[in-house]
Amino acid sequence: MEKRWAQVDAEDETTITELAQALNIDECLAKILVQRGVTNFEDARYFFRPNLNQLHDPFLMKDMELAINRITKALKGNERILVYGDYDVDGTTSVALTYSFFSQFTAEIAYYIPDRHKEGYGISTAGIDFAKENGFTLIIALDCGIRSIDKIAYANSLGVDFIICDHHLPGDELPKAVAVLDPKRVDCEYPFKELSGCGIGFKLAQAYCVANNLPDEMYECYVDLCMVSIAADIVPIVDENRVLAHFGLAKLNENPCTGLKALMQISGKTETYSITDVVFLLAPRINAAGRMGDAKDAVKMLLSDEVILADEQSAFINSQNTDRKTFDQNITQEALAIIQQSDILVNRKTTVVYQSDWNKGVIGIVASRLTETYYRPTIVLTESNGNYTGSARSVAGYDLYEALLSCSHLLEQFGGHKYAAGLTIKPENLTLFADKFEDVVSSTISPNLLVPVINIDCEIELSQIDAKFYRILTQMAPFGPQNMAPIFVSKGVTLVGFPQIVGTNHLKVSVKQQNSAIFESIAFGLGEYESLLKSNIPFDICYTIEENVWKEKKRLQLNIKGIKI
């Protein structure tokens, strides 16, 4: 699929020049920093040298004092506490962190993860009934609950209190819980709004330590779990998330918890993890537990202190991930066949596909793959408990959640983020919903958003790339949303030697410009350019810069994202 190249808007040249001089760096790097809000030496010090002291006061979060008071009362009264969380990576890491932290102060604590297939997303009646039947008087809900008005009312009627720790968008009404911790509340003045669900759990643990004059190490030791949730839930890696991701990666690479260490070993990579490695190696395996079986297996692994138990759990989860791959590949092929054999592609800006026997645990992955293929807002549905339930994915720049909000009268329930959501619909409303969703998206989406874009940070000459340039570039990590790995463009490069196809459709080339060194490059999925590149024809490339290690030798290489001849 052809992609459009978009140059990031130019910043104030004076600010760029002054910052480059103050930091003694290339002006291109200074421009990238200014684009990311770093405009002076003090900003740069904060950006390049994250410190856990930069974390905000947890009591700035609305209802935090109420939450700590209720937990303190429960601990003093020896009440039974149930830690409740979602079945994805954010939910399971949240539960592992919160359960592990508070189990230091009481033995009357357990955890509960709803069954994806039987109970669905969020707070369930079954979960509340479990709490009541087993004597739990306080539930700490993580990564869910902000829209569970009826469920919290039901729990209140049974004498079961709730503390909600969520990061999703609230509705017009908040549930009547003892405390509702969510920075996205309109009445919450917490300075950072984009914490993960596990991040809210981390702040709860931090607040408890502050309130009780406990050492920081008692909550800081969970920063690796928090980082995994940040990576997996695709939240912006800025502000507090950048600090948590930085120290979480350091802990993962130096001294990970036993469960994560076991998972790293079975994934085949045991050191020098980046956010990208966490997203593609660890997160899918943790997610597989909830997709293919019971998410409690993921929590068991994350909580394991014994190496043997952690190894057993990680091996089991890894086998589930292998099964998950088979399921999602098969369902993706079926979904593509349905699309190609119908009129879904004709004059429509959305894709809505349904099949009753698709595995509920993998349809989110399928929705992502279909979005990548056709690049338009996509919903994949399957049958569950007499209704149709599904996952929705969007394209860059388009608010899917707002579109679903406009269709909410046809939905039984929905929730999520700007780019990903879950929904449930009655079978008789499917056609009405698909048409309404198409109408809403068609009238609100800009045509250019239906073409994938490569956002280019800066144009440079290949001669500007050297060891110092790359060293400073790497210090901008960890990379992720709102702090993506910078993409550069170089124009008029020429081919050195001959292009080569490697793997299925990947292109390996060597390029140079006048007065520059030769750079070996890899272009994933761009094999069609092999026959178009000629030694005497200059072309433009956009790329990221990375380090390739082969037989203990390191060299810089370009990871080409696009080619224009």
Tell me: the pLDDT tens digits for 14-58? Answer: 999 999 999 999 999 999 999 999 999 999 999 999 999 999 999
Domain range summary for the chain, segments of one domain joined by +: 4-8+453-564, 58-318, 342-450
Query: How many CA atoms does the CB half-sphere of 201 hold within 13 Å?
Result: 32
Whether the Cβ atoms of residue 418 and residue 482 lie closer than 8 Å to each other: no
Residue 405 tokens, joined: 């909000």
User: Residue 549: pLDDT above 90?
Assistant: no
Q: Is 270 left (phi over 0), alpha (psi -120 to 50) or beta?
A: alpha
- Residue range 474-499: mean pLDDT, rounded: 95
Hey, what amino acid is at 261? K
Give the SS3 label for residue 452.
coil
Distance, in Å, from the CA atom of 274 to the CA atom of 386, rounded to the nearest integer, reads: 42
Residue 317 tokens, joined: 């989860």
- Decide whether 4-8+453-564 matches 58-318 in CATH topology: no
Q: In this prediction, what percent of the chain has a pLDDT beyond 70?
A: 99
User: Residue 10: pLDDT above 80?
Assistant: no
Give the SS3 label for residue 422.
strand
- Residue range 555-559: mean pLDDT, rounded: 95
pLDDT digits (tens, 9 = 90+) for 201-258: 999 999 999 999 999 999 999 999 999 999 999 899 999 999 999 999 999 999 999 9
Distance, in Å, from the CA atom of 539 to the CA atom of 522, rounded to the nearest integer, reads: 15
Short-list 215, 192, 208, 224, CA closest to 96: 224
pLDDT band of residue 413 (cuts 50, 70, 90) is confident
- Residue range 468-485: mean pLDDT, rounded: 95
- Residue 271 is predicted with a pLDDT of 83
pLDDT band of residue 385 (cuts 50, 70, 90) is confident
User: Residue 298: pLDDT above 80?
Assistant: yes
pLDDT band of residue 345 (cuts 50, 70, 90) is low
The dihedrals phi and psi of 281, each to the nearest 5 degrees, come to -110, -45
Short-list 434, 441, 445, 455, CA closest to 543: 455
- Residue range 451-455: mean pLDDT, rounded: 93
Short-list 475, 491, 492, CA closest to 483: 475
Short-list 153, 193, 159, CA closest to 175: 153
- Residue range 469-483: mean pLDDT, rounded: 95
User: Residue 300: pLDDT above 70?
Assistant: yes
| Average pLDDT value for the chain | 94
Q: What sign results for the dihedral spanned by CA atoms 233, 328, 85, 152?
A: positive
pLDDT band of residue 501 (cuts 50, 70, 90) is very high
- Residue 445 is predicted with a pLDDT of 96
The count of other CB atoms within 10 Å of the CB of residue 528 is 11
pLDDT digits (tens, 9 = 90+) for 126-181: 999 999 999 999 999 999 999 999 999 999 999 999 999 999 989 899 999 999 99
Distance, in Å, from the CA atom of 262 to the CA atom of 167, rounded to the nearest integer, reads: 29
pTM for the whole thing?
0.91
User: Residue 9: pLDDT above 80?
Assistant: no
Instruction: Identify any residues that bridge with 521 across adjacent strands, giving them in sequence order.
Output: 509, 558
Q: Which of the 8 DSSP states describes residue 280?
A: I
Instruction: Name the fold adopted by 342-450.
Output: Diaminopimelate Epimerase; Chain A, domain 1 (3.10.310)
Whether the Cβ atoms of residue 165 and residue 143 lie closer than 8 Å to each other: yes
Distance, in Å, from the CA atom of 446 to the CA atom of 439, rounded to the nearest integer, reads: 13
3-state DSSP of 333-347:
HHHHHHHHCCCCCCC
Distance, in Å, from the CA atom of 163 to the CA atom of 68, rounded to the nearest integer, reads: 10
Distance, in Å, from the CA atom of 94 to the CA atom of 296, rounded to the nearest integer, reads: 12
Hey, what amino acid is at 277? D
- Residue 536 is predicted with a pLDDT of 85
- Residue 548 is predicted with a pLDDT of 86
Buried b (16+ CB within 10 A) or exposed e, 82-116: bbbbbbbbbbbbbbbbbbbbbbebeebbbbbbbbb
Distance, in Å, from the CA atom of 63 to the CA atom of 146, rounded to the nearest integer, reads: 13
Instruction: Name the fold adopted by 58-318.
Output: inorganic pyrophosphatase (n-terminal core) (3.90.1640)
CATH class of 4-8+453-564: mainly beta
- Rounded to the nearest 5 degrees, what angle is found at the Cα of 166, between the Cα atoms of 389 and 120? 20
- Residue 35 is predicted with a pLDDT of 92
